[in-house]
Amino acid sequence: MSQFDAIFQPIQIGKLTIRNRVVSTAHAEVHATDGGMTTDRYVKYYEEKAKGGCGLCICGGSSVVSIDSPQAWWSSVNLSTDRIIPHFQNLADAVHKHGGKIMIQITHMGRRSRWDGYNWTTLVSPSGIREPVHRSTCKTIEPEEIQRIIGDYAKAARRAKEGGLDGVELSAVHQHLIDQFWSPRVNKRTDEWGGSYENRMRFGMEVLKAVREEVGPDFVVGMRICGDEFHPDGLTHEDMKQIAAYYDATGLVDFFGVIGSGCDTHNTLANVIPNMSYPPEPFLHLAAGIKEVVKAPVIHAQNIKDPNQAQRILEGGYVDMVGMTRAHIADPHIIAKIKMGQIDQIRQCVGANYCIDRQYQGLDVLCIQNAATSREYMGLPHIIGKTEGVVRKVVVVGGGPAGMEAARVAAERGHQVVLFEGQAQLGGQITLAAKAPQRDQMAGITRWYQLELARLNVDLRLNTYADEAQIKAEQPDIVILAVGGKPFIEQVPEWGADEGLIVSSWDILDGKVEPGKNVLVYDTICEFTGMSTADYLSEKGSKVELVTDDVKPGAAIGGTTFPTYYRSLYPKEVIMTSDLALHKVYREDEQLVAVLENEYTGQLEERVVDQVVVENGVRPDEALYYALKQQSLNKGQIDIEALYAIQPQPCLSESTAGDDFLLFRIGDCTAPRNTHAAIYDALRLCKDF
Amino acid sequence: MLNQILPLLIFGALLLAVVGGVRRIRLWRNGRPSDVPIMAGLAALPRRYLVDLHHVVARDKYISNTHVATGGGFVAAAILAILVHGLQLNSQILAWALLAATTSMFVGALFVAKRRVQPPERLSKGPWMRLPKSLLAFSIGFFLVTLPVTGLVPAVLGAWVLALILSVLIIWGLGEMFFGMTWGGPMKHAFAGALHLAFHRRAERFNGGRSTGLKPLHFDDQQQPLGVEKPSEFTWNQLLGFDACVQCGRCEAMCPAFAAGQPLNPKKLIQDMVVGLAGGSDAAYAGSPYPGKPLGEHQGGPFASIIAREGQGLLDAETLWSCTTCRACVEECPMMIEHVDAIVDMRRHLTLERGQTPNKGAEVIDNLIATDNPNGFNPASRMNWAADLALPVLSDVKRTDVLLWMGDGAFDMRNQRSLRALVKILRAAKVDFAVLGNEERDSGDVARRLGDEATFQSLAKRNITTLAQYSFRSIVTCDPHSFHVLKNEYSDFGGQYVVYHHSTFINHLRQTGKLNFAPYKGGSVTYHDPCYLGRYNGEYDAPRDLLAAAGIQVIEMERSGFRSRCCGGGGGAPITDIPGKQRIPDMRMEDIKQTGAEIVAVGCPQCTAMLEGVVDPRPEVLDIAEIIAKQLVEAEEAA
Ligand SMILES: Cc1cc2nc3c(=O)[nH]c(=O)nc-3n(C[C@H](O)[C@H](O)[C@H](O)COP(=O)(O)O)c2cc1C
Ligand code: SF4
Ligand code: SF4
Ligand code: SF4
């Protein structure tokens, strides 16, 4: 038997045959625009997955059926109008052309939304109970509204069908309206829509019947449910089995999607899209439990990232199909690569959750490591073709994310690439990020680049801080500087960096400086590095206070990631203090005194500690750039109009014969940003070399 | 005085030759009957010799010219000598002709001698080193004794000393040429070779026929042995064929298994069969042995088991299992000897009577029996690769223009890419096609080459029955093994089809304007001829034409076309997996690398698998269909 035969076993769902067992499950893409119509971007995004071999795409996470489930916050797809139908036709054609199937998740989100914008909607929920994640209040839904919404579901399903999609998935998960009715935690009604089990089931059942009635037997209708709400007053696994069996018995459901955990608190939300702190497939047992009681096929997604894992799960018969959703965000060609035997070339999702954390901020979903994802429409390629022009000598300085991506892309283009890195290994700041507890999978980003650069025969010069002479000795046609920066702890002289009173977060994570016993971590940035440093120190036994002048430590970290930091920090008694700025540090005997100033009252406080760690972001390293700038043909300038339009840099047409070369700088050595920005800089710049 | 001796010598030698001939014929007749047409065969002899055989010999210009001079000279000289010296016909014309014939033979013999000064590795030594001298002796001897007859020199030269010397030359020459011909000397090749041509077991090959020479076993015939256990179980004309071998070693030089250091050498194999048919040991064999097998340890006889059940027989089984059935030997053999069918005949015995298919062989056969495919995949999953292609299936549509035969590559993820490319091309050309779906079975190729004729026939008959239910005009397949079996071997069981290899078919689509190609921008390409497409079926041009039409200039390997080197994947060789010093696909990849090409185009799932199994760095392996599919310019869909 072949290694991945279980993955490539086609499956019948309703009347539909799906070519393999892999699903990209519903996720809010946050790029349906113009009142919720799918765009060219949307179509290309899904077409890429279909081209890459994905069996089934369930698009349109949380696509709305009614106008009182606001569409605009997450630019989700709007099925409340017939205008959507022709858009669906484009989408369906694009996916079908490559042999894929496509369905859409449809829902009414009830209270799980915001009311303070757009139509200033009055949100509805069975008993008017506030939802904490979105801080949203709502009204108690009235029977007339219930009937209207049931009708809206049916009409929405008809639109999906008329648009040529292959099916709909009713969301009864993540605390949308259907499972708001199910859950006794939020449904306190005493009428026919609440109270007893049958009554709580009624709304979902009526929706299911109405939808099935509308679309007939030949169109797929599935349901996504959770396996256990993980709330003492919520639905348990046994409850969910009962519910699944109850709906399955109608014969109206063609498949069940099952995921673990409820999601109406910050803490449970983190379970739903498990980040890198979770083990592989943490909630498979819940899906398997549901599969035991239903006849319809069961799909499960949650941390299924690699083909061996998928094969093992399918072979074990735990579920019928595996969702590999972020796996496809990170690499839409994952299935094709499995088929081609190019397992090593798969860009595996590392669970950084950049994608989902952007979604919760209402930003378009992007991948931390793959800058082409969701930018297919702009012409950013997942597979980079060889240049038809001249082959150049490209020298890349710096092996962090920007430099690694630049080297990869230039080498894929067929150029001769040398990559200088000062450290003994590639990765740059990713290497640091991966040093923290629970963050080790960040290194997966580097691992992929290592394999790719080796495959592409990039000439790696590790342990080499290239200087001007070394660079020019290579006779480069193009020089790319991606040397990053240094921790910026000198910004406030009173901190005492020059006197050695403070150390940087990098020094700690790198192991250069031994953790102190009693440590104050001062974090002005409130992203991963500060939290990671506090976590690292406390893990090593330090007593840590994490102080920020911002509103909350970790404030800039997204909704699926700060909870897992908190889960790690609180048990280790890390004290988190906000609104205090580090005023100055001075030495007193063996101890250090940190003077903190309250942002709002100006009042000073002191902490006596034996180590002060400052996380104040990065200062770009510009020396090499200014040494080379005047000698370069283009004076180091990037034509940003061309860059933003994903067009070739005009200076590429100039001759770089002899000593002439072009110079570009990218990533943090320009201005400190993040991993995605660094990689995007590199990809859009180098793809036309 | 010579006038008295010469007739005696000539007729004495002829008599001995006849006695030897009769004895030799009796050895051949130990073999089983074979229904070849005797008279028609004899009548076809000159054409087969002058056209077909010469076609092969002429590949080596040196030896072909030499052979015309020596052989032609000898035949003429022999006849004239009988007339002039045997019957003492006193004719100036005949005498001059004899001088001319012996001169030609002399010149030829000089070239034979020259080749023997530093003979290539492949040539046998031993008695064959003596042959040029014998040829010289014969030609010089008869030249000199004929001189007086022409009157050019006085008869005085018949002085006894000289007469004695001449007699020695003549006896030596006659001994080698007449006596040796039928008593087992090198000249046996002329006698056996001529008869072999006349009574060839696969006569259709002389008219471009594409049969395999694998004759179906008739399982209801109790008389017929299941394969060949003893030399006497070959047919008589097979035995005759072995005897025709000139030990030129052209087969050895081309055999991939020999080159890989596996214990097989087709020349030695044929010589072992000669030992077997006459009885004795291989000690006197003077060529390259089977790699790793010293001479003198094996022996046999017409009625002894070739592969001994205990101890040493004539051959070791691994010799037979090393063969990839690539037919490079058959293609090269100037004596038109058929090595492969002999090997398969002997394998049949091992598999059917002894159940001794080595390594994975037994498992593969069990799988074929249980699941109709060699790897034991669930037969209901044959269409999984096309789950998203909505291919028309014959059980639904009943009739189609083209039946796309998927082959067992349908189960293989690598080959599925080739199949999908092929589907894309067929669709682009708007071909009306359908597949058998899960009703398709393995063609039986592997079973047959592993000697399991029973499983082969069962698969063949069931496939034929399935095919009979539907109407289609032709079959197209990307698997040359299925192609060969469907086209050439099913007819013995009543299945007659028009079958195309996909390269031929696509090339035809192109020629009829159904496909348009974009300018080629990919890497440089070489082409590997699959044995079962090239040597077995003579299709060398279509793949090359097609690639050329797509704008690809094929860089040819040194071993290409009919001299292509096998990838190592045929005949069940990867299954029986006999160890050697290196792997055949590695050697083939070296051939490929020598061209400097970045891509090797192939037309066979087996070749793809073998060549892709070679470790990187190596050129990319792509099926022709994959290359072409990428070049397609698809007509815009009507709005
Ligand atoms: C950016 C993003 C948005 C998501 N939005 C939805 C959604 O709207 N509805 C839904 O049912 N699931 C949503 N999910 C959850 C996914 O369907 C999936 O269950 C989850 O990503 C875990 O699977 P994975 O580990 O294969 O990524 C979202 C996931 C991501 C990453
Ligand atoms: S952003 Fe992170 S979690 Fe999301 S797909 Fe990319 S690697 Fe995975
Ligand atoms: S068929 Fe090929 S492998 Fe077999 S003996 Fe002949 S040359 Fe060798
Ligand atoms: S079998 Fe044919 S090719 Fe081989 S040595 Fe004999 S005559 Fe030559």
Count CB atoms within 10 A of the CB of residue A40: 13
B93 and B37 fall within a common domain: yes
Are the CB atoms for B304 and B314 separated by under 8 Å? yes
Residue of minimum CA distance from atom 14 in ligand 1: A27
Cβ B325 under 6 angstroms from ligand 3? yes
B405 secondary structure, DSSP code: E
Nearest Cα residue to atom 11 of ligand 1: A26
Does the Cβ of A221 fall within 6 Å of ligand 1?
no
Residue B203 lies in a domain: no
Contact between B113 and B58 (Cβ < 8 Å): no
Same domain, B395 and B308: no
* B314 and B401 belong to one structural domain: no
Give domain status of residue B214, yes or no: no
% of residues, chain A, pLDDT over 70: 100
Average pLDDT value for residue range B366-379: 91
For ligand 2, the distance from its centroid to the CA atom of residue A331, given in whole angstroms, is 9
Q: Are residues B454 and B549 in the same domain?
A: no
Cα A327 to ligand 2 centre (Å): 7
Q: Report the candidate in A615, A531, A524 with the shortest Cα–Cα distance to residue A572.
A: A531
Give the end of a domain, one of B136, B163, B198: B198
Collapse the DSSP code of B620 into the 3-class scheme (helix H, G, I; strand E, B; otherwise coil) and give the result. Answer: strand
Q: Chain-centre distance of CA A288, in angstroms?
A: 26
Question: Which of the two residues, B92 and A378, has the higher pLDDT score?
Answer: A378
Q: Are residues B479 and B379 in the same domain?
A: yes
- What pLDDT does A217 receive? 95
Cβ atoms of residues A97 and A107 within 8 Å:
no
Cα of A420 vs centre of ligand 4, distance in Å, is: 61
Asked whether residue B432 falls in the same domain as residue B305, the answer is no
Partner-chain contact B417 A341, CB within 8 Å: no
Per-residue confidence band for B637, with pLDDT thresholds at 50, 70 and 90: very low
Structural domains of chain B, count: 4
By C-alpha distance, which of B271, B336, B263, B274 is closest to B301? Answer: B274
A-B C-beta contacts closer than 8 Å: 39
pLDDT for position B16: 86
Are A341 and B413 in contact (CB < 8 Å)?
A: yes
Is B211 among the domain residues?
Answer: no
Q: Give the per-residue pLDDT at B638.
A: 35
Which numbered atom of ligand 1 lies nearest the CA of A174?
11
Sheet holding A478-481, edge to edge: A459-461, A416-420, A393-397, A478-481, A662-665
For residues A415 and A255, what is the distance between their CA atoms, to the nearest angstrom?
A: 49
Whether residue B340 has its Cβ less than 6 Å from ligand 4: no
Tell me what pLDDT residue B159 has: 65
Helices A143-162 and A84-96: angle between axes, nearest 10 degrees: 50
Give me the CATH number covering residue B479.
3.40.50
The CATH class of the A11-378 domain is alpha beta
pLDDT band at B635 (very low <50, low <70, confident <90, very high): low
Nearest CA to ligand 4 atom 6: B245
Among the four given CATH numbers 3.50.50.60, 3.30.70.2190, 1.20.1300.10, 3.40.50.800, the one describing domain A489-616: 3.50.50.60
B267 C-beta closer than 6 A to ligand 4? yes
What residue has token string 């349901």?
A: A223
Last residue of a domain, one of B323, B353, B383: B353
Domain membership flag for residue B460: yes
Q: What is the mean pLDDT of residues A403-407?
A: 98
Q: What is the mean pLDDT of residues A43-70?
A: 96
- Tokens coding B570: 């045929």
Last residue of a domain, one of B289, B320, B353: B353
Which ligand 2 atom sits nearest the alpha carbon of residue A329? 5
Give A107-172 as a DSSP string: E--TTSS--SSTTT---EETT-PPBTTTTB--EEPPHHHHHHHHHHHHHHHHHHHHTT-SEEEEEE
Per DSSP, the residues of A471-529 read HHHT--SEEEE---EEE---SSGGG-TTTT-EEEHHHHHTTSS---SEEEEEESS-SHH
CB of B266 closer than 6 angstroms to any ligand 3 atom = yes
Chain A residues whose beta carbon lies within 8 Å of the beta carbon of residue B411: 2
Give the residue among B545, B529, B538 at the shortest CA–CA distance from B602. B529
Yes or no: say if A29 and A42 are a contact pair by the CB < 8 Å rule: yes
Chain A closest-CA separation from residue B417 CA (Å)? 8
Ligand 4 center–CA B174 separation, angstroms: 25
Band (B604; pLDDT cuts 50, 70, 90): very high
Average pLDDT estimate for B172-178: 80
What is the model's pLDDT at position A1?
A: 46
Same domain, B9 and B145: yes
Does the pLDDT of residue B178 top 90, yes or no? no
Best probe residue, ligand 2, of A275, A277, A349, A528 (max atoms within 8 Å of C-beta): A349
- B221 pLDDT above the threshold of 60: yes
How many whole angstroms separate alpha carbon A117 and alpha carbon B560? 73
B166 band by pLDDT with thresholds 50, 70 and 90? confident
Domain-located, residue B442: yes
- Ligand 4 contact via B246 beta carbon (within 6 Å): yes
Whether A385 has its CB under 8 Å from any CB of chain B: the answer is no
Whether B488 is covered by a domain: the verdict is yes
Measured by CA distance, the residue closest to atom 7 of ligand 4 is: B245
pLDDT band at B19 (very low <50, low <70, confident <90, very high): confident
The reply to whether A538 touches chain B by the CB within 8 Å rule is: no
Instruction: Provide CATH 3.50.50.60 ranges for chain A.
Output: 489-616
Are B170 and B45 found together in one domain?
A: yes
More reliable by pLDDT, B163 or B311: B311
First to last CA, chain A: 43
* B458 near A CB under 8 A: no
- Lowest average pLDDT, out of A326-340, B366-380, B498-512, B554-568, goes to B366-380
Looking at the structure, tell me whether residues B390 and B473 fall in a common domain: yes
Q: Per residue in B47-83, pLDDT tens? A: 898 888 888 888 888 888 898 889 888 989 889 989 8
* C-alpha distances out from residue A599 to A548, A550, A596, A616, A643, Å: 10, 9, 9, 17, 40
Nearest CA in chain B to A55: B388
**Two tokens at B347?**
């394998």
Whichever domain contains B285, its CATH number is 1.10.1060
Outline which parts of chain A fall under CATH 3.40.50.720: 393-486+620-686
- For the cut 70, the answer to whether the pLDDT of residue B521 exceeds it is yes
Sign of the C-alpha dihedral computed for residues A543, A545, A546 and A551 taken in this order: positive
Render pLDDT for B147-161 as a digit per residue (tens, 0 to 9).
888 877 776 655 666
Q: What is d(CA B236, CA B115) in angstroms, rounded to the nearest whole number?
A: 33
Residue B268 lies in a domain: yes
Does the structure show a pLDDT above 70 at B468? yes
User: Does residue B76 sit in the same domain as residue B159?
Assistant: yes
Least confident of A219-223, A328-332, B165-169, B542-546: B165-169
Is pLDDT above 90 for B162? no
For residue B249, pLDDT beyond 60 = yes
| Chain B residues near residue A4 by CB distance under 8 angstroms | 413
For B185, the domain range is 2-198
Q: From CA B531, how far away is CA B500, in angstroms rounded? A: 15
- What architecture is domain A393-486+620-686? 3-Layer(aba) Sandwich (3.40)
**In this structure, are B162 and B303 located in the same domain?**
no
Instruction: Compute, in angstroms, the gap from residue B471 CA to the centroid of ligand 4.
Output: 45
Q: Is residue A476's pLDDT more than 90?
A: yes
Q: What is the CA radius of gyration of chain B?
A: 28
Is the CB–ligand 1 distance for residue A173 below 6 Å?
yes
Find the CB nearest B387 among A1, A2, A19: A19
Q: Give a yes or no: residue B609 inside a domain.
A: yes
Give the pLDDT of residue B639. Answer: 34
Q: Are residues B13 and B49 in the same domain?
A: yes
Read off the pLDDT of residues A76-135 as tens digits, 9 standing for 90 and up: 999 999 999 999 999 999 999 999 999 999 999 999 999 998 899 999 999 999 999 999
A264, pLDDT greater than 50: yes
Q: Which residues of B are less than 8 Å from A9 in CB distance?
A: 381, 384
Where are the domain boundaries for CATH 3.20.20.70 in chain A? 11-378
